[in-house]
Amino acid sequence: MRRLSATLLAATAGILPFELVATMPLGPLRISSVELFLYATLATWGVSCLGDPAARRELLDPRRWPGVLRAAAALGLVLLLSAARAPEFRGAAFKSALRGLSGILLGFAAADLLRAPRQRARVLTALVLGAAIAAVGVIVEAWAPSGAPWLRAFHDQTFQALGQVRGSGPFQFPNIAAMALEAAIPVALLLGSAGAIRNERGEDSLDLRRRLRWAMPSSLNAAAAAVMFLAVIATGSRAGLVGASAATLVVAVMWARDPLRRRAGWMAGGGLLVLLVAGVANDPALAARLHFWRDGRWYRSEIVPAGGAADRLPPRLAPGARATELLSVANRGTLAWRHAPPSSVRLSYHWVDARTGRIAIRDGLRTTLPADVPPGGAVTLRAAVGAPPEPGRYLLWWDMVHEEVTWFSAHGDQGRREPILVGDLPASPGAGLAPAANAAVPRLEDSAVPRRRLWRAALGMFRQRPLLGVGPDNFRHLYGRILGLAAPDDRLHANNLYFETLADLGLCGALALVALVVALAAAARRAWTVPLGRGIALGLGTFLLHGTLDYFFAFTPTLAMFWLLAGALAGCEQDAA
């Protein structure tokens, strides 16, 4: 049973990126393909522990647990208490708590099964192999979106940013793909070091035969790491790019300081620079997003009338009437406008009630661009307009829209405003027939909620329930109420591991998370001399670094990978002792 548990653990490590959209029934629950392997591994490992008296005694005695596992157990206890005290959505909170506990138990299983260097290398090789295959899918989707229809089994939509497709491969979202791949990169780079032996001075050394034996695996590991790095770039994740670069740079510095690996260190550092330059140069959207402080320059337009008086809208329209106007639209921003889906830019409009200044109709008819418009380019459009159904005085606010991303006006673009009278209304005494075109209008909010507002909502939830929070995974159900949003997206998390933990689990959860981070740091220090220990520690470090801008415990692939690496680090710590 123990051998079977180790085999299933390796299979789980390899299958982590490939979670199918379709789920399978398991009693009252539905489980995913990855969860099936995860639960099978945990069940088999649990049976093997029950059949081994020594393993059973060690498992049931917390004093024998490594510090990482004690901190993980404390976090698991907080998950259950917080779910039990959740003010709303208690069923969903318990479901999330149980998913979190399954990840923690995977950490216990990995710590027990991965004490031996050979078994540790076997499982992490499976993890790297699965991540490398997934990375190919990410790159294919980003560079040739129509060339990977099989990826629809893992996510049912294509993601993009600033007109560029963001690859997610077999992962559910691009940011989740970036987090998993950046964690696997240092593991892949240091996997070849598992063949190192220790000399009498405690330094790594390899005789000629071992060098030849490990040259090919090390080359394959480096190639896999390079593919994963390119895939992180293809996800368009800025935090992922920072984490992957930092982990690779640390490995390069470590190797450069080692006489036996100095050449490999320089090659790793040079390869990092080449991949960064080539990848960013090939992805103008990512290059623009790296200059996030210049986002006001991305979306800029100039909309002016074209043609003669016959091509203009009349100052009065009947309610619900259709009309057209000839407009010249110029791209004054830094991004090219694409006319074809899935990241098209179109001309549209809003109707603003001139009396109240409120948006009467947010989404107007769309007018498609005839071709791509580069920065500085212009195009003439016969734009269609549908008048509001209610009579009144309005401003017709022409605005460009980047479909499924944002309105240009949300980034400060002025667009064009025209006063229009709808219906057979008399002119007000002393007033013109229609409102002034320069009347004040509200600024549209972007369709995406900025991180700073999400973090503010998390702090608001913490103040309301400071001890145990609002319940595991309940931030996404409640943040809209805090921010006053009419139709919040309940798939959205706080985009920060630490703020989300504070909101969901309160002060108790935050302290448990801090204890876990401290325990991981202590385990990394003790396991630093063990082959693969450094790679595992760096992989966990990328999770904690990326966690400042994203949340990963809600997604089974990243949840399981984090706890698998945490358990492997605990196994390294026990091996070092």
CA 54, CA 59: separation in Å to the nearest integer?
9
Across the chain, mean pLDDT equals 84
pLDDT at 1: 84
pLDDT at residue 509 in the model: 96
Reported as a single tens digit per residue, the pLDDT across 512-537 is 999 999 999 999 999 888 778 999 99
- In this prediction, residue 467 carries a pLDDT of 96
pLDDT tier, 156 (very low <50, low <70, confident <90, very high otherwise): confident
> In the predicted model, is pLDDT for residue 198 greater than 50?
no
Top-confidence residue, 356 or 277: 356
- Work out the pLDDT band at 437, boundaries 50, 70, 90: low
Domains annotated on the chain, with CATH: 2-288+487-576 (no CATH), 300-412 (2.60.40)
Angle, nearest 10°, between helix axes 90-113 and 117-143? 130
In one letter, which amino acid is 565? Answer: L
What does the alpha-carbon distance between residue 234 and residue 164 come to, in Å, rounded to a whole number? 10
pLDDT score of 64: 86
Three-class SS of residue 260? coil
Contact assessment for residue 540 and residue 517, using Cβ atoms and an 8 Å cutoff? no
Whole-angstrom distance, CA of residue 243 vs CA of residue 142: 20
115-122 average pLDDT score: 88
395 pLDDT higher than 70 = yes
Say whether pLDDT at 38 is over 80. Answer: yes
What is the percent of the chain where pLDDT is above 70?
Answer: 84
> Can you list the alpha helix ranges (DSSP code H) found in 236-309?
238-256, 262-282, 284-290
| Low-confidence winner among 12-16, 45-49, 193-197 (lowest mean pLDDT) | 193-197
Is residue 248 within 8 A of residue 189, CB to CB? The reply is yes
Q: Do the beta carbons of residue 1 and residue 51 sit within 8 Å?
A: yes
More confident residue, 534 or 197: 534
Residue 16 has pLDDT above 90, yes or no: yes
pLDDT of residue 208: 45
Give 177's contacts (C-beta < 8 A, 6+ positions apart): 17, 134, 138, 167, 168, 169, 171, 231, 232, 235, 237
Q: Could you tell me if 513 and 501 are in contact, meaning their C-beta atoms sit under 8 angstroms apart? A: yes
pTM, rounded to two decimals = 0.78
What would the pLDDT profile of 230-271 be if each residue is shown by its tens digit? 899 888 888 888 899 999 888 888 878 877 667 766 777 777
Asked if the model's pLDDT at residue 176 lies above 90, the reply is yes
Closest by alpha carbon to 347, among 310, 309, 286, 306? Answer: 306
Q: Please indicate whether residue 144 or residue 383 has the higher confidence score (pLDDT).
A: 383
